[in-house]
């Protein structure tokens, strides 16, 4: 469930121009993998797929997540 919310937030962040230098196809792949369970939030945080601060920002944009 959390992965799906992060996938949605990453898509929104991309559309809002908050992920400069990241290609749309890459966000689509990451989001799809998060949604279908091939990628976890922890996997994303530990990888070089996106800057960690952008993943943290997506998590913080989910009000009910309470990441901090």
CB 18 within 8 A of CB 57: yes
The reported pLDDT for the residue numbered 67 is 47
Q: Tell me the C-alpha distance between 17 and 60, whole Å.
A: 17
pTM: 0.87
pLDDT surpassing 80 at residue 66: no
* 14 falls within a domain: yes
* 67 falls within a domain: no
* 40 falls within a domain: yes
Report pLDDT digits (tens) over 12-64. 999 999 999 999 999 999 999 999 999 999 999 999 989 999 999 999 999 76
pLDDT tier, 4 (very low <50, low <70, confident <90, very high otherwise):
very high
* 9 falls within a domain: yes
* 68 falls within a domain: no
pLDDT tier, 68 (very low <50, low <70, confident <90, very high otherwise):
very low
43: domain range? 2-60
Q: To 5 degrees, how large is the angle CA 30–CA 13–CA 40? A: 30
If one counts every other C-beta atom within 10 angstroms of the C-beta of residue 50, the result is: 19
Q: Give the pair of three-digit tokens for residue 7.
A: 């996938």
Q: What is the residue whose two structure tokens read 């996106």? A: 50
Q: Tell me the C-alpha distance between 34 and 20, whole Å.
A: 20
């Amino acid at each position: 469930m959390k992965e799906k919310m992060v996938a949605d937030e990453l898509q929104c962040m991309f559309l809002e121009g908050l992920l400069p230098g990241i290609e749309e196809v890459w966000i689509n792949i990451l989001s799809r993998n998060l949604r279908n369970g091939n990628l976890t939030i922890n996997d994303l945080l530990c990888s070089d797929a996106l800057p960690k601060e952008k993943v943290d920002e997506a998590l913080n944009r989910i009000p009910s997540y309470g990441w901090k």
